[in-house]
Structure 1
């Protein structure tokens, strides 16, 4: 985990190319004190890192973000108000690449949509 202590996995199910994951954000993590003081917001780059880490868990491979063809932040993730996120990752592996389509939600709110290609590291 690149950002130690930012989140914990509460539930993880991977079957036939689809991972359904529930994570709990640590609202006390120092990253939220700088982003932003008094109004914490989950940094987008941290969400992309979490998706990468969950994809690595599913594939058993070390990955590097090659290209993202679509990233849409649909709602602000405030860890004090919404500390539990549900992520769905549709994963396909093709030779040395892993393609991922992700949706991230909290409660009934769509927070993030992402399509990305990761390169498998040697």
Structure 2
């Protein structure tokens, strides 16, 4: 896990190809000391990494990002305002690849939409 101590998984529900994971984000993590002091904002690349790490956890394998399409950051995630983030993913395994279509959201709405492709490494 690249994001050591950045989050804890509170709950994961699996139903077919769909997964819903609740994360509790550590508002005191080092990332927020530089991004940005006094106004913490979760970097977009970190939000994308959360989906990769969750897919790795679900499938029990290491993954490498091959492609990310239609990545849309729709809101700022500030962990001092709310520390829970929900990842809703549709995960389809096709041969050596895993296709992921997901949204990250908090109680106020969607933070990120992503379509991505990973391969086992």
Q: CA offsets, 1:13-47, max 9 Å, x none? A: 12211111000100011110100011000011111
1:5 aligns with 5
Unpaired stretches in structure 2, ≥5 consecutive residues: none
TM-score normalised over the length of structure 2: 0.96
Q: CA offsets, 1:78-99, max 9 Å, x none? A: 0100210111010000001000
Aligned-partner Cα distance in 1 for 2:11–2:53: 14
Could you list the structure 1 runs, at least 4 aligned residues long, displaced by more than 6 angstroms after superposition: none
Q: CA offsets, 1:38-70, max 9 Å, x none? A: 100001111111110101111122100000111
1:32 aligns with 32
1:65 aligns with 65
Query: How many correspondences in the alignment?
Result: 121
Unpaired stretches in structure 1, ≥5 consecutive residues: none
Alpha-carbon shift at residue 120 of structure 1 (Å): 1.2
TM-score normalised over the length of structure 1: 0.96
Aligned-partner Cα distance in 1 for 2:22–2:75: 18
Q: The residue matched to 2:71 in structure 1 has which SS?
A: strand
Alignment of 1:1-122 (within 5 A): 1-121=1-121
Aligned-partner Cα distance in 1 for 2:68–2:3: 21
Alpha-carbon shift at residue 7 of structure 1 (Å): 0.4
Aligned-partner Cα distance in 1 for 2:103–2:57: 17
Aligned-partner Cα distance in 2 for 1:20–1:114: 15
